[in-house]
A = this chain, B = another copy of it.
Amino acid sequence: MLMPESARDGLDSFDLAILDILQRDNTIAHRIIGERVNLSAAAVHRRVRRMQENGVITGNFAVVDPARVGQPITIVVEVEVESERLDLLDAARRSFAADPAVQQCYYVTGDADFVLIVTVASMSGYDALTRRLFFGNHNVRRFRTLVVMDRIKTGLAVQLPNPSREPI
């Protein structure tokens, strides 16, 4: 039985080459991408659209320098909860995710339970955040604050597999 190709999940070397470009800069014209990967612009366009519909590409974003919009401080926070009861974890999860100061939130194994990356305008802004998210939540046992002195590398780019002949 043949799976309809339009629904297929695998990525071939063309797809990977295209992703590699778009991860770095999604404003490059399809015609240029086509020249680099040896496809027509139409073919590039079809592949990009499919990867978006497929969910391989999850979004297209402009990245803003936090310092230039009044959020010069980045902080990593490790949060430990009291109880791992599912409903309580979920409540914490939701409150972290909903806060606009929280850029990223990970639920992790190990000593900590959550790792948050937040941006704030000032330390008093961070103080307000701790009240809002941590002191205001009785399920938060403790949290550890790691103030970022240098954002050495930021981004969401993922390492792509070696472009082999076979789809993944």
A107 interface residue per 8 A CB criterion? yes
Question: Which of B65, B78, B105, B151 is the one whose CB lies under 8 Å from A106?
Answer: B151
Tell me the bound Cα distance from A154 to B157 in angstroms: 12
Interface residues contributed by chain A, number (CB under 8 Å): 68
**Complex contact B26–A60 (CB within 8 A):** yes
A41 interface residue per 8 A CB criterion? no
- A-B pairs with beta carbons under 8 Å apart, 13 shown: A55-B68, A57-B62, A57-B64, A64-B156, A64-B158, A71-B158, A74-B106, A76-B115, A103-B156, A106-B146, A107-B150, A108-B147, A108-B149
Residues of A within 8 A of B (CB): 9, 11, 16, 19, 22-27, 54-66, 68-71, 74, 76, 78, 93, 96-97, 100-112, 114-115, 119, 144-161, 168
